């Protein structure tokens, strides 16, 4: 994940040197907020696994453990009016969008923790009204493009949203999240080509976690850096250290500035590693198809630890604070509530209580949204 000498990655790293990085303008409070959001995303993941083990939750979970810096760092610099399209690996993005306006601010343009928990529990209060327990939701009001099952399927939708917004005189950017596996889809090419031709402000994040289900990257693509695909479209292809929330923020902000100034799309590849199986149904198999040393190496730079180290260097965490809430490197079985800031635990508790209290939708709703209704 470090820059390789003589490679395109090293060239890119050199190009970035000398200019002031966007993260250098973040205040102490903003840096601490980034840190807290990493805990929030991690706790969401860990808590859902615990709830399922306790028998209080059903359905498959797709973990974003070890990949949280990509979500937190990419969302932090967006405007409320920007659009996003999360998929299966990005569940926390639904409530992290626009959370900078305040975790409990009802008017922010993101989903509430209650809505997201109701979705996971399949209850009436969920945007999907119990049709699914995971990411198949969206919200026009909150500027979240509905997640599609077809990998890369949100990129053409993002291009359409960006085109429509431009026609209406807007200046939004649209951020799409995709695993590296989705780059092999034909629609990935068609959509980015279209966005590039029309200079649409579409940013394609590639979460390169080195596995697409049980397929390793070398069987997915003949090039090592997925950002290299950008060359074929004449657009910037940036590489971020996906374990470092500040590097993700820097690269995404570079792409955002490019897109918002009318220069068109960009690809930001974030190098990371999938901590567990594809979903929790795949955890045991993943231990067999992935060598133990690879997993150990891939998980050795926990985004919480990387951020903590940076905050210590900046003098923003001192004394006892520097060693509080040591959640890094801990699995759902190992971690306890004491490993997380109390406000993070309280926020999740609020969402989970709402989900448990929310009723199941009425059976008559089953045919709703299947046929066009008159109202």
Ligand X SMILES: Cc1ncc(C[n+]2csc(CCOP(=O)(O)OP(=O)(O)O)c2C)c(N)n1
**What backbone torsions phi and psi does residue 348 show, to the nearest 5 degrees?**
-65, -40
* Contact partners, residue 334, CB within 8 Å, separation at least 6: none
Structure tokens at 190: 């068609």
Binding mask 273-292 for ligand X (x = CB under 6 A): -x---x--------------
- Beta strand pairing status for 215-216 and 211-212? antiparallel
The piece of 24-32, 95-103, 144-152, 354-362 that touches ligand X (CB under 6 A) is 144-152
Residue 80 interacts with ligand X (CB under 6 A)?
no
Q: Which of 122, 179, 264, 361 binds ligand X (CB under 6 A)?
A: 179
Closest residue to Mg ion using C-beta atoms: 179
Binding mask 200-229 for ligand X (x = CB under 6 A): -------x-x-xxx----------------
- At residue 144, the 3 state secondary structure works out as strand
Q: Which of 151, 267, 268, 304 binds ligand X (CB under 6 A)?
A: 151
- Residues 73, 151 contacting (CB under 8 angstroms): no
Residue 112 interacts with Mg ion (CB under 5 A)?
no
Structure tokens at 222: 């003949």
- Residues 183, 122 contacting (CB under 8 angstroms): no
The piece of 127-135, 145-153, 310-318, 319-327 that touches ligand X (CB under 6 A) is 145-153
- DSSP secondary structure of 343-363: HHHHHHHHHHHHHHHSPPPPG
Q: Which residue, 163 or 213, has its beta carbon nearer to ligand X?
A: 213
Q: Which of 86, 138, 181, 242 binds ligand X (CB under 6 A)?
A: 181
Q: Which of 73, 77, 86, 179 binds Mg ion (CB under 5 A)?
A: 179
Residue 253 interacts with ligand X (CB under 6 A)?
no
> Cβ of residue 1: shortest distance to ligand X, in angstroms?
16
The piece of 179-187, 218-226, 351-359, 365-373 that touches Mg ion (CB under 5 A) is 179-187
Q: Does an H or E element contain 155, and which?
A: helix 154-167
Residue 209 interacts with Mg ion (CB under 5 A)?
yes
Q: Which of 262, 235, 266, 265 is nearest to 166 (CA)?
A: 262
**What backbone torsions phi and psi does residue 270 show, to the nearest 5 degrees?**
-110, 115
Rounded Cα–Cα distance for residues 256 and 165 (Å): 16
The piece of 26-34, 207-215, 290-298, 341-349 that touches Mg ion (CB under 5 A) is 207-215
The residues facing 83 across adjacent strands are: 174
Residue 212 interacts with Mg ion (CB under 5 A)?
yes
E strands, the chain, in order = 83-85, 174-179, 202-208, 211-212, 215-216, 237-241, 266-271
Binding residues for ligand X (CB under 6 A): 88-89, 149-151, 179-182, 185, 207, 209, 211-213, 274, 278
| Site for Mg ion, rule CB under 5 A | 179-181, 209, 212
């Amino acid at each position: 994940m470090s820059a390789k000498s003589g490679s395109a990655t090293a060239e890119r790293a050199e190009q970035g040197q000398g200019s002031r990085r966007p993260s250098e303008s973040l205040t102490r409070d903003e840096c601490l907020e980034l840190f807290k959001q990493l805990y929030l995303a991690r706790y969401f993941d860990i808590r859902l696994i615990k709830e399922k083990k306790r028998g209080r939750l059903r359905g498959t979970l797709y973990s974003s453990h070890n990949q949280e810096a990509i979500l937190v760092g990419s969302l932090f610099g967006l405007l409320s009016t920007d659009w996003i399209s999360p998929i299966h690996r990005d569940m926390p993005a639904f409530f992290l969008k626009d959370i900078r306006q305040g975790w409990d601010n009802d008017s922010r343009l993101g989903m509430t923790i209650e809505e997201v928990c109701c979705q996971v529990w399949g209850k009436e209060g969920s945007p999907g009204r119990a049709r699914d327990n995971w990411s198949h939701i969206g919200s026009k009001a909150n500027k979240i493009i509905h997640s599609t099952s077809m990998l890369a399927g949100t990129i053409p939708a993002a291009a359409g949203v960006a085109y429509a917004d431009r026609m209406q005189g807007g200046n939004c950017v649209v951020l799409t999240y995709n695993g590296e596996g989705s780059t092999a889809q034909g629609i990935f090419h068609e959509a980015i080509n279209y966005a590039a031709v029309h200079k649409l402000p579409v940013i394609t994040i590639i979460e390169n976690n080195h596995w697409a289900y049980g397929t390793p990257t070398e069987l997915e693509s003949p090039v090592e850096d997925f950002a290299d695909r950008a060359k074929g479209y004449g657009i910037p292809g940036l590489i971020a250290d996906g374990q470092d929330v500040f590097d993700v923020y820097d690269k995404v902000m570079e792409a955002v500035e490019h897109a918002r100034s009318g220069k068109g799309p960009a690809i930001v590849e974030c190098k990371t590693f999938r901590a567990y199986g594809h979903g929790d149904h795949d955890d045991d198999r993943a231990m067999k198809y992935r060598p133990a040393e690879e997993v150990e190496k891939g998980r050795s730079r926990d985004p919480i630890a990387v951020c903590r180290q940076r905050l210590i260097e900046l003098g923003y965490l001192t004394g006892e604070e520097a060693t509080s809430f040591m959640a890094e490197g801990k699995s759902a079985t190992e971690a306890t509530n004491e490993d997380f800031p109390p406000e993070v635990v309280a926020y999740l508790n609020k969402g989970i209580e709402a989900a448990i209290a929310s009723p199941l939708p009425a059976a008559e709703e089953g045919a709703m949204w299947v046929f066009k209704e008159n109202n």
